[in-house]
Structure 1
Amino acid sequence: MARKQGSHAETTGPRIREAALRLFAQHGYAAVSMRQIAREVGVQAGALYLYTPDKQTLLYDLMRDHLDHLLGHWHVPDGPPEAQLEAFCRHHIRYHLDRPELVFIAYMELRNLEPENFAVIERLRRRYEDRLQAILTNGLESGDFALADGKLATMAIIAMLTGVNTWYREGGRLSRADVEAIYWDMVRKAVAA
Structure 2
Amino acid sequence: MARKTGSHSEITGPRIRAAAERLFARHGYAAVSMRQIAAEVGVQAGALYLYTPDKQSLLADMMRSHLEDLLEALAALPALPDPVARLAQFARFHVGYHITRPDAVFVAYMELRNLEPAHFATVEALRRRYEDALEAILQAGKSAGLFSLPDPKLATLALIAMLTGVTNWYREGGRLSRSDVEAIYADMALKSVGAAV
Report percent identity of matched pairs.
68
C-alpha displacement of 1:160: 0.3
Which SS does the other structure have where 2:89 is aligned? helix
Q: One-letter code of the match for 1:177?
A: S
Q: Which runs of 4+ in 1 moved over 4 A?
A: none
Q: One-letter code of the match for 1:72?
A: E
Rounded to whole Å, the distance in 2 between the matches of 1:2 and 1:180 is 47
Rounded to whole Å, the distance in 2 between the matches of 1:26 and 1:190 is 32
Q: One-letter code of the match for 1:46?
A: G
Hey, what does 2:2 align to over in structure 1? 2
Hey, what does 1:161 align to over in structure 2? 163
Q: One-letter code of the match for 1:7?
A: S
TM-score, reference length from structure 1: 0.97
Q: One-letter code of the match for 1:11?
A: I
Rounded to whole Å, the distance in 2 between the matches of 1:161 and 1:78 is 20
Q: Calculate the aligned-residue CA RMSD, in Å.
A: 1.0
C-alpha displacement of 1:6: 2.5
Rounded to whole Å, the distance in 2 between the matches of 1:120 and 1:107 is 14
Rounded to whole Å, the distance in 1 between the matches of 2:172 and 2:139 is 34
Equivalent in 166, 174, 177 of residue 175 of structure 1? 177
Hey, what does 1:65 align to over in structure 2? 65
- The answer on whether the counterparts of 2:83 and 2:137 sit within 8 Å (CA) in structure 1 is yes
Rounded to whole Å, the distance in 1 between the matches of 2:5 and 2:175 is 47
1:2-31 deviation digits (Å, cap 9, x = unpaired)? 222231121111111111011111111011
Q: One-letter code of the match for 2:29?
A: Y
Hey, what does 2:82 align to over in structure 1? 80
C-alpha displacement of 1:173: 1.3
Hey, what does 2:188 align to over in structure 1? 186
Q: Does 1:34 align with 2:34?
A: yes
Q: One-letter code of the match for 1:73?
A: A
Within a 5 Å distance, the mapping from 1:82-121 to structure 2 comes to 82-121=84-123
TM-score, reference length from structure 2: 0.95
1:118-145 deviation digits (Å, cap 9, x = unpaired)? 1111100000000000000001111111
Most deviating of 141-150 and 171-180: 171-180
Which SS does the other structure have where 2:50 is aligned? coil
Rounded to whole Å, the distance in 1 between the matches of 2:187 and 2:91 is 10
C-alpha displacement of 1:181: 1.6
Q: One-letter code of the match for 1:59?
A: L
Hey, what does 1:44 align to over in structure 2? 44
Q: One-letter code of the match for 1:6?
A: G
Rounded to whole Å, the distance in 2 between the matches of 1:175 and 1:108 is 26
1:68-90 deviation digits (Å, cap 9, x = unpaired)? 00001113622200011011000
Rounded to whole Å, the distance in 2 between the matches of 1:102 and 1:130 is 21
Which SS does the other structure have where 1:144 is aligned? coil
Most deviating of 151-160 and 172-181: 172-181
Q: One-letter code of the match for 2:105?
A: V
Rounded to whole Å, the distance in 2 between the matches of 1:5 and 1:185 is 52
Which SS does the other structure have where 1:74 is aligned? helix
Structure 1 runs not aligned, ≥5 long: none
Q: One-letter code of the match for 2:17?
A: R
Which SS does the other structure have where 1:3 is aligned? coil
